[in-house]
């Protein structure tokens, strides 16, 4: 079954945020964010109408008990989880004024949005990032397997100029098996590498998207993911 793409998909924000930052190379990067937005300690927003743990960030590690997930955040990175969710909520309000649609994307939330620099800062290199998002599976009637989520996800990626390296494939990380898709996009003289890992859990499609300037950078970020029976 081929799933329809919602009118608004959180994944599109993921790619757009990093692509926008990477495309501008004139102004220097802004100063580091305040401690409230650093990767030292923070509590992301809670997805509405869900028992899904939003997770916490402490000492450079994001932990989510519900998903039994931990994710290392490189030193010096900044968090923009609340900002991404505020943007998503604004889009949902716009959709609320439109005619009802079975393809709406209500329930899409960022659990973690971490960037090597603020997305609005301009620089020549690719803005590496980690985005963990939870999108209601109810937005995709017929969604039974994580691999199906890549139909709409790949559609969005291609619309933004990304090409898939190969077909999605399964990858085991700790106690979990996820489906992974790898993409790339030429950005001037540079190449943006993007990998998204997906699993279905607690009524959500959980996507973990990492972006880097090289394959090695992406793999280093993926290596920072851990799944365990207790999330520790």
pLDDT at 166: 93
Report helix angle 10-23 to 150-159, nearest 10.
30
Give the closest residue to 67 by CA, choosing from 193, 205, 184. 205
DSSP state letters, 30-47: PPPPPGGGBSSEE-PPPP
Residues of the chain below pLDDT 70: 1-50, 91-92, 95-107, 230-232
CA angle 6, 206, 65 (to 5 degrees): 145
* Per-position DSSP letters for 71-110, written without gaps between them: EE--TT-EE-HHHHHHHHHHHHHHHHTSPP-TT--TT-EE
Every domain of the chain and the residues it spans: 10-227
pLDDT of 161 reads 87
CATH no. for 10-227: 3.40.1000.10
pLDDT of residue 42: 60
pTM: 0.79
Q: How far apart are CA 134 and CA 108, in angstroms?
A: 6
């Amino acid at each position: 079954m081929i799933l329809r793409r919602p009118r608004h998909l959180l994944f599109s924000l993921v790619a757009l945020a990093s692509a926008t930052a990477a495309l501008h190379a004139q102004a220097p990067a802004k100063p580091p964010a305040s401690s409230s937005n650093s990767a030292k300690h923070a509590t992301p927003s809670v997805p509405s109408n869900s028992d899904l743990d939003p997770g916490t960030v402490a000492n450079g590690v994001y932990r989510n008990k519900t998903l039994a997930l931990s994710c290392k955040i490189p030193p010096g990175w900044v968090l923009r989880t609340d900002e991404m969710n505020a943007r998503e909520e604004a889009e949902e309000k716009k959709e609320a004024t439109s005619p009802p649609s079975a393809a709406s994307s209500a329930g899409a939330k960022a659990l973690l949005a971490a960037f090597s620099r603020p997305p609005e800062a301009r620089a020549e290199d690719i803005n590496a990032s980690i985005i963990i998002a939870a999108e209601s599976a109810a937005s995709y009637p017929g969604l039974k397997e994580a691999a199906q989520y890549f139909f709409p996800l790949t559609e969005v990626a291609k619309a933004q100029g990304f090409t898939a390296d190969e077909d999605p494939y399964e990858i085991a990380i700790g106690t979990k098996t996820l489906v992974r898709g790898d993409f790339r996009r030429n950005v001037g003289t540079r190449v943006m590498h993007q990998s998204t890992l997906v699993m279905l859990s607690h009524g959500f499609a959980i996507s973990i998207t990492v972006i880097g300037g090289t394959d090695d950078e992406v793999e280093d970020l993926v290596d920072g993911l851990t799944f365990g029976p207790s999330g520790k």
